[in-house]
């Protein structure tokens, strides 16, 4: 009996070797770029100028322009064109989100209430205004982190260099374009996108 068990042992060991998982060489196709981790703009949220949480998924199916604003900037008159654009296209699915920001030259020193009053009194702003945010640095708002990092948005890295930088987001929540401060809202670079041309 003991001799039989000893004879079976090598056979059992031999057969168990065939159960091992064998991995061959792995190839990665070079004609396909690696998938970038990304999420939709619609997964984000921010606080509005009245302190209410706004989930960006409320803008599904709409084109969105995100712009960092300031009340004491040379570009501040762009509020007027932004409002005109919003008035003209809001019923056709355009949303403009203004994010007051004091990151550049301290040009947005006021409180949320002061900012809202300034915008309504001077430019008749009715598009949604958000709470003041940091668009760069350690305190960068999560929404701006998404806008400026390809690893988040899956499209591009971008740098906000001054007030009134614009980001264009399509109906599916995908970042489409980053537009510098000097480009006015009525410029063809923005109007063409809004009108779908």
- Half-sphere exposure in the Cβ direction for 140 (13 Å, CA): 14
Distance, CA of 2 to CA of 16 (rounded, Å): 21
Set 17, 73, 101, 119: catalytic member: 73
Whether 73 is a known active-site residue: answer: yes
Distance, CA of 192 to CA of 197 (rounded, Å): 5
Check residue 140 and report its DSSP letter. B
Distance, CA of 100 to CA of 133 (rounded, Å): 6
Distance, CA of 80 to CA of 69 (rounded, Å): 12
For residue 168, give every residue at least 6 positions away whose Cβ sits within 8 Å of its Cβ, in sequence order, or none: 63, 64, 65, 175, 176, 177, 178, 179, 190, 193
Beta bridge partners of 94: 63
Which residues have a catalytic role annotated?
A: 73
């Amino acid at each position: 009996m003991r001799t039989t068990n000893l004879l079976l042992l090598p056979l059992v060991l031999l057969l168990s070797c065939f159960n091992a998982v064998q991995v061959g060489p792995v190839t990665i196709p070079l004609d396909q770029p690696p998938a970038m981790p990304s999420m939709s703009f619609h997964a984000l949220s921010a606080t509005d100028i009245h302190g209410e949480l706004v989930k960006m998924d409320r803008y599904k199916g709409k084109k969105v322009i995100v712009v960092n604003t300031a009340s004491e900037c040379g570009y501040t008159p762009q509020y007027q064109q932004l409002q005109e654009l919003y008035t003209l296209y809001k019923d056709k699915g355009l949303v403009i989100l203004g994010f007051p920001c004091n990151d550049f030259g301290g040009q947005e020193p006021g409180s949320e209430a002061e900012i809202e009053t300034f915008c309504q009194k001077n430019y008749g702003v009715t598009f949604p205004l958000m709470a003041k945010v940091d668009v760069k640095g350690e305190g960068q708002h999560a929404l701006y982190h998404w806008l400026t990092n390809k690893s988040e948005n899956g499209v591009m890295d971008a740098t906000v260099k001054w007030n009134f930088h614009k980001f264009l987001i399509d109906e599916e929540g995908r970042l489409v374009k980053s537009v510098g401060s000097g480009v006015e809202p009525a410029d063809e670079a923005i109007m063409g996108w809004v009108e779908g041309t």
